[in-house]
Chain A
Amino acid sequence: MSLGLISDLVLVLLVLSLAVWMNIARTAYRAVVGFVAYGLLMTLIWVRLAAMDVAMTEAALGSGLTGILLFGAASRLAPFEAAERARAPGPALRLLIGLLCTVVAAGLGAVVLLLPEPAPTLAPLVAENLSPTGLQNPVTGVLLAHRAVDTLLESVVLLPALIGVWSVAADADWVGRPSALPRPPASEALTLLAQVLPPFGILVAIHLVWIGADEPGGKFQAAAVLAAMWVLVMMAGLRQPPPVVARGWRELLVVGASLFIAIGIAGIWLADAFLAYPEDLAKPLIIAIEVALTGSVAVFLALLLAGPPAGAHRREV
């Protein structure tokens, strides 16, 4: 048995047992701890599958930022957990749920195993048509040229998500600042980290956007790193989250998608199709969209984590 196969087997076993552990964990908090570790193991699996772009997204978004979101939710749910457990479904219903989940999992497994050999793929087509975009990274090529409309929708969908979060605020709290981020007790170590790490994080984010054209990386990973730095600064208490009525931040939120749409519409005249790029300008336009979207997505992610605005009277509690 080769060394690679052994490490793959260990990874798969770890992921499976962690998944079981998450499901039987007694408190939501424990389950979230398991979920974050699960995300890091999934990252390693994506690396083993040579899907570096997916691995980076999983580490930054799937495990990191989602982890913070779930930790926040778990700590708010903690007071009600005992009461919820008393109302949990009986053994028969739970068995039924387990069976249905198993059927779905088995069905998905069967679909993957029954794929024709070789599996249907558009990869050669992408590789053939990558050169007009001036990019080297096929993932960025697909995201911003071949399937640009999907990416556009993905970046626009963050807006209704944020509106959804903000809309749970009471009218009186509307002028307040978001307050959902966990605020650990003041600690010199955390302050130091929040002061030292952000310059490195910003550098890493710029690097990720820049190499995204040619190597694994890109706007979503970079935006997640930027958002993480900002959230760290807010959690350490060095900066307050901005009030949701602040105009400047709102403009920053929409600038990325607006530029994307503007360039897309310009493509109707310049390249004969919506979201098409003129041949010689493709790469600079794609990079401009990536940079603008990085800024917008970073603010979106950080504000999604920061939660709905709360009035001053609530923040004291």
Chain B
Amino acid sequence: MRFALDLFTIVMVSLGGLFFLAGTIGLLRFPDTLTRLHALTKADNLGLGLVVLGLLAQTSSPLGALNLVALWLLALLGGAVVAQFMGAAVRPARWRTGGVSGAREEEGG
């Protein structure tokens, strides 16, 4: 049982690390701010989620597990808000007027 749990942790944390690595490469290699944000948030959320999932197998108390999950949820919230915020700051001017969808405006104008 112990062995299975440890194996689970190793696999999940390594997978999480892989997502962090992918996110970092995306951050460095993608061409503009919006796509970089995309790489960063997706990788961080999923990467941290997998690391937390892996560590859940190592917790001895339900409270500790709850702590980890709360940590992940707060990081999700923070990441999502910051991404929205930075995205709003850098989006091209032609998306900015009125409507929700940028594509429709481009068709119209």
Contacts and interface: CB of A to CB of B under 8 A. Distances in A.
Nearest to A201: B74
Contacts of B77: 193, 196-197
A187 B74 contact: no
Contacts of A193: 77-78, 81
B3 interface: no
Q: Is the interface of A mostly helix, strand, loop or mixed?
A: helix
A189 B85 contact: yes
A189 B81 contact: yes
Contacts of B84: 187-189
A197 B76 CA distance: 12
A183 to B, nearest CB: 13
B88 interface: yes
A109 interface: no
Contacts of B74: 197, 200
Interface string A182-214: 001101111011001100100000000000000
B80 interface: yes
Interface string B58-89: 00000000000010001001101100110010
Contacts of A187: 84-85, 88
A312 to B, nearest CB: 28
B57 to A, nearest CB: 22
Contacts of B85: 184, 187, 189-190
Nearest to B87: A189
A300 to B, nearest CB: 26
Contacts of A196: 77
Interface in A161-192: 184-185, 187-190, 192
Contacts of A197: 74, 77
A187 B85 CA distance: 7
A145 B84 CA distance: 47
Interface of A: 184-185, 187-190, 192-193, 196-197, 200
Closest CB pairs A-B (n = 6):
A189-B84, A193-B81, A189-B81, A189-B85, A187-B88, A187-B85
